[in-house]
Structure 1
């Protein structure tokens, strides 16, 4: 744990699930309601700082989140990202993408020339919010199942 790391000091978003190894949060990005992060509980900066077994375990969680997003949200594409430039603590972004989203096809961190108040866009965004409860609930169930299988 680091006294200077925001991910060591705060949850980092709305908590969906945690155990002693990871926590999974909703990033609470207004235009990307299901934007999810998998955050390593221990303070490590780079993936290669982890033993091979822990790297694989972390990625298993990332892939599980991706699969639940595909199953429940049915996005056009999913973006996986692990930067850590601004927050040097291992965490992965799992972002469902749709052709209707505000930044498509560019990165969500890019400038958008789309109108965020357009009726079609607002309808799309409202529809995304309707899936959140089911997505979070399904994700929690599958994470519990995964943890019960891997800790035996």
Structure 2
């Protein structure tokens, strides 16, 4: 089966570095970003030290951009690979207004057409606005420079 991250849609991509593709994730956690390794690898142990360092640095810089644009109260980070066997980070902004703020991140599934969490907490998706995408791109450009996009 083809890897969905190896064929990520160009419309989803906000920025690229030499190592990573940065894309907006589902917006059940408003400001959620995915930092996807450009080449296919299924586990961090497959990355040589320099590539691993760059990939983690890309994630850190993306987190700073999320903080700048969305001003969350906390950030959560996940690198699991349970559903998509392709190394990638999730950066989840957390807000005190979240119904589950202060609780661990949980996986979500669809129930009656809505994404819910365990323990059941209904979350609504709030897509990024064009202005938010522009601000994110500017923050990423300020971080990574204009050489790659």
Q: TM-score range by the shorter chain?
A: 0.7 to 0.9
Which structure is higher in strand share?
A: 2
Q: Give the CA deviation at 1:81.
A: 0.6
* Cα distance change of structure 1 residues 145 and 69 upon mapping to structure 2, 3 Å threshold: closer
Confirm or deny that 1:5 pairs with 2:3. yes
Segments of 4+ in structure 1 off by > 6 A? none
Q: Which protein shows a greater Rg?
A: 1
Deviations 1:96-152 (A, max 9, x none): 001211432231424254565xxxxx8xx87xx6x855553343234334444999x
Q: Secondary structure of 2:51's partner? A: helix
The CA distance in 2 between the partners of 1:60 and 1:115, in whole Å, is 33
Q: Contact 2:69–2:136 at 8 Å: present in 1 too?
A: no
Confirm or deny that 1:44 pairs with 2:37. no
Gaps of 5+ in 2: 108-116
- Correspondences of 1:1-150 after superposition (within 5 Å): 4-11=2-9, 14-29=12-27, 31-104=28-101, 105-109=103-107, 110-114=117-121, 133=130, 135-148=132-145
Q: Give the CA deviation at 1:65.
A: 1.1
Number of equivalent positions: 138
Q: Contact 1:13–1:28 at 8 Å: present in 2 too?
A: no
Give the alignment's TM-score, normalised by structure 1. Answer: 0.73
The CA distance in 2 between the partners of 1:85 and 1:114, in whole Å, is 22
Which structure is higher in helix share?
A: 1
* Cα distance change of structure 1 residues 68 and 143 upon mapping to structure 2, 3 Å threshold: closer
The RMSD of aligned alpha carbons is 3.0
